[in-house]
Amino acid sequence: MSPRVIVAAAVLLLLAAVPLLSGVLGQTFYVTLFTRIMIFALAALGLNLILGYGGMVSFGHAMYIGIGAYAVGILTFHGVGSGWAHLVVALGVGGVVALAVGAVCLRTSGMAFIMITLAFAQMLFFLGVSLRDYGGDDGLQIPNRSDFGLFSLANGTVLYYVTFALLVGVLYLLHRLVHSRFGMVLRGCKSNERRMKALGFPTLRYKLVAYVISALVCVLAGVLLGNLTRFVAPAYMAWTVSGELIVITVLGGLGTLFGPVVGAAALLLLEEVLSSFSVGVPWLDKFLSQHWLALIGLFIVLVVLVLKQGLYGRLSAGKEGPR
């Protein structure tokens, strides 16, 4: 069994046990923390499909997180508490937006693609700011979490395990996708799109489908994030959030299926530790409290320079299941 499979299995087993360990330790905060980690891992998995396997650098995927979160917030604001309604509206709107944005962006490549995805994200960001009835720039409180009838996300443990189940489900579906004919064509487009066209593959169609699937995974993450925080704001669609998703993907390992999960855990756990770290030396504690983000930046630089394949990607590759 390869190191990658062992690490992936160990991480998933640990995630499955977090609520139990949290109850034993009496620290319910860990449930919230690891729910957030899995949500960002889910969004990074979506981005990794086009970034890691398709070579498309999108700086606008945060807008799909915002669409998912705003679907929950706006519908709840109008008295619609059904989780199924939240999910259908979020995926429907997200799919239409992704189809339209992808049809425009994918006719470009390189820096033009990056800038156009960023431009669309900024348009959605300022649309959120203009929604004064829904809080505008200050955001909108979500009084109740989604209710799916058979279960409700009002309970933090239920929300945790729903997020965990969706993370595992998306991992499995993406594993099947990237190892299928579709995945082979997508990776071929990354390596040499001109050659794939010469072989008769409609590369634009393949990339558009990949882009829409990638966006819908981020919409799903947005629905979960809105339920976790019980709040939604235009800040969810800021370009910095898109940048964070790229960092998570690169940190874990581009083109590795489980890399974004490892990257999300590493980055968010490091943020949590450094933001409250104390060594008992007043001047050093003051420095850490004010400049902990610089230390995270240093960590990312070191990983990129020393472990060019990422934390998970550095593990010896072999013939394994989820790459």
In a domain, 291, yes or no: no
Q: How confident is the model at residue 278 (pLDDT cuts 50, 70, 90)?
A: low
In a domain, 216, yes or no: yes
- What Cα–Cα distance (Å) separates residue 131 from each residue in 34, 125, 134, 248? 31, 10, 5, 30
In a domain, 6, yes or no: no
Give the Cα separation of 98 and 118 in Å (integer).
13
Domain count, the chain: 1
The residues, ordered by sequence, that sit 6+ positions from 217 with a Cβ below 8 Å of its Cβ are 42, 43, 45, 46, 49, 170
Q: Which tokens in the block code for residue 233? A: 């704001």
The tens digit of pLDDT for each residue in 59-78 reads 999 999 999 999 999 999 99
Mean of pLDDT over the chain: 90
Q: Stretch 240-263: mean pLDDT, rounded?
A: 92
In a domain, 160, yes or no: yes
Q: How confident is the model at residue 1 (pLDDT cuts 50, 70, 90)?
A: confident
By residue range, what is the domain housing residue 245? 38-260
The secondary structure of 251-304 as a DSSP string is HH-TT-SSHHHHHHHHHHHHHHHHHT---S-HHHHHHHHHHHHHHHHHHHHHHH
Output the pLDDT for position 322.
Answer: 42
In a domain, 13, yes or no: no
In a domain, 296, yes or no: no
In a domain, 50, yes or no: yes
Q: Which tokens in the block code for residue 305? A: 């320079």
In a domain, 58, yes or no: yes
